[in-house]
A and B are shown apart, each in its own frame.
Chain A
Amino acid sequence: MPAQILLFGHGVPLSDPVLAGLAVRDVTRLYRAPIPGSRVAPLLEPFLDPFVRAFLLGLEAGAFQDASLVVIWRQGAGALHAYRYAQELRRLGLVPALPRLHLWNRTGGETEAARAFDATQDAALAALTAGLPRGPVLDREGPLAVLDARQAAGLISGSLAFAHRLKARATGLPAATETAGQTSGPRLALAGAPLGSDRLHRWLDRQGQLVLDLQGPDVPNRYPLERMLERRGVEILVWQVDPHDDLHGWKAPATHALCRRLGIRFVDLGYIPAFASFRDLPEVLP
């Protein structure tokens, strides 16, 4: 079994040249409940980002023990806190001492200074992974584009497309593209906070055709939002945020205004937990 590098942080670029050929998996959206008698859970504030919580509980449970390295992508929402908490829990002896944690601090800025800084960060990660075996470079972008095109054409259910994307991230393999479960009804877009379970998607499959999934992972970004909504003939944009969201809600009024201008119905489901259960969902679209 190849040495695994686990990545945490929304949007972490699995296919970045620094990681090319390495066996990587993205653990950002994996759910973890506390282990019995967890010593970590009482230290996590109830409003902690749900993905950060799951990551830390996974760390305590030893879920990442087989990895040679855990890389935390600074740019991901909440990721710096995941790193800070993980380090502190380790300092306190509350989580296993291995695997090594590494903060991938890239800024993504366009200035010369930002590029120089990012280069130092990439070099540090490259040095850490220098001894790890590398295999062939996978084409992840191609299958994702095919999957997105099929979703835009209404050839696949929203839940299956999301499951393909989640699985691709969790395994590090290219996304499956086979289609099934075509649905009918109004053409939907889903936006707002990232989700970790497909409950909402399965519910949406009963409400219409999810032709644009903007909550990720691997959100299509070739075109501006307005153009994507128009090109895909979206009739209803479904909005939701996690009950402790402090980020995505900032975009709600502007998204609502855009929908109003385009004649798209904006449906706000309110607070939907990232790892939703059916109890969290209404019976039909409000």
Chain B
Amino acid sequence: MTLSCTAQAAAYQRDWTKSLRARLAAGEAYAFANADTPLEVFHALGMPVVVNQWWSSVIAAKQLSALHLDASERAGFHGRLAKYSALPLFAAQDGRPESQPWGGLPHPGLLCARASADDHPLIFAEWARLTGAPLRILSAPGHDAPAPDWWTPLRDPWEDEVGTARLDLMVAEIADLTALAETVAGRRTEDGALAALMARIDRQERLFDETAQLIADAPRLPVRISEMIPNVMIPQWHRGSDWALAHATRFRDAVAARIAEGAAVCPDERVRMMWIGAGLWFDTGFYTRFEDQGAVFAWSMYLPFAADGYLRADHGDPMRALAARVIDLNEHLHQPPWAGAWHVKEALRHRIDLAVIIVPASDRPSGYGTNFIARALNEAGIACVMIDADMVDARAWDGERAHRLVSEAIDRVLQKGR
């Protein structure tokens, strides 16, 4: 039985998209931005923002990815280019309302990406060429001496961990992005709006932190990751809004109630798994297919990352805190030494027996570092299975093989004994 808040989150996002279309039809501009950019700039301004990777997941979930990816190859983009971050571009190049989720979106008023992957500036340059929208590519200077346990210093004393020079640069670029957004929107961000937003986001992420801990401490998994994800990510796309904060509370309370009832996804739970990497958006049912073996996916990154990836004390300077949040946001999930250490920490907290790692060969920034993650987990005593798959390209998905690999790994865990 699903949580009632799961349907509420989906309904909110559906209604938001419909209302967005109405606002856009009335001439309001919106921003189209990558997930690892400071979306807070747009939220504080009250400017609608559509997140590239969210839209990509929706296209894939609507089983439209093959149509657009095939077309992209006919247009001359080779088939091994990244797809997760490019699928919305390909859909926009198609342009037909009937081949877009909910009829699609008009051209954005502003584009924003961060150079956290070498290809993001190129993908967004194509967007800019297609739409004529102004584009901001935020710099992504690398951390020269990253601490493996980044999540601890970044919650509060982040200045030293991030580095003053990198923060100064990111703050200036966020200020520049804010100015551009204000020009496009035709209004100014209200005084104090960003500070208030950041404070609400802080409360929201603490609620998610509580929820993640509740799930980690529960004797058996109380809620599937396919439910966790919309309950976290839809509020995350609207983070800091009244609705998002209220929904984070609803979700925490619903999880707590379910745990209090003694409910379990799999009453005969014997193996706890973690899904490492972004979601398998075209086949989220995959996550439930091992429950007859007593195996559950107890973890995906989205819920715990809401806390570790986003909680940054503002120290009276919300824009600098925002810079500290975004400057290595996606990198923490994939690059050594950060990703290995974090996944080990999370695996131990959630009593994980088996990690399933999605390895997208054609989305290299997401595929890179996976061997280091597996090595770190193995050294911590956690078995790993690597699945060759793309997050949105259903054409290349060998579900039977993936099922067999995971199923065999579960058997090995069971034979070894928990």
Contacts and interface: CB of A to CB of B under 8 A. Distances in A.
Interface residues of A, number: 48
B162 to A, nearest CB: 13
B392 to A, nearest CB: 15
A44 B169 CA distance: 32
Interface string B377-416: 0000000000000000000000000000000000000000
Interface in B59-85: 75-78, 80-82
Contacts of B25: none
B176 A87 contact: no
Contacts, number: 120
A87 B125 CA distance: 32
Interface string A249-284: 111111010000000000000110000000000000
A246 B168 contact: no
B172 A111 contact: yes
Contact of B139 (A88, A107, A243): A107
Contacts of A113: 168-169, 171-173, 176
Interface residues of B, number: 43
A247 B313 CA distance: 36
A107 B25 CA distance: 38
A243 B80 contact: yes
A136 interface: no
A141 to B, nearest CB: 26
A33 interface: no
A215 to B, nearest CB: 16
A106 to B, nearest CB: 8
A155 B320 CA distance: 56
Contact of B76 (A46, A116, A252): A252
A251 B129 CA distance: 12
Contacts of B123: 250
Given A80-B142, A88-B337, A246 B364 contact: yes
30 contacts: A43-B371, A43-B372, A44-B371, A45-B370, A45-B371, A47-B367, A49-B364, A83-B142, A84-B146, A84-B335, A91-B337, A92-B375, A103-B144, A107-B141, A109-B139, A111-B173, A111-B176, A112-B172, A113-B176, A114-B169, A117-B139, A117-B141, A117-B166, A245-B78, A250-B77, A250-B81, A250-B123, A251-B122, A253-B77, A271-B80
Interface of B: 75-78, 80-82, 118-119, 122-123, 125-126, 129, 139-142, 144, 146, 165-166, 168-169, 171-173, 176, 335-337, 359, 361-364, 367-372, 375
Across the A-B interface, give the 10 residue pairs with the lowest CB-CB distance, nearest first.
A113-B172, A88-B336, A253-B76, A250-B122, A117-B169, A105-B141, A120-B165, A249-B78, A47-B361, A103-B144
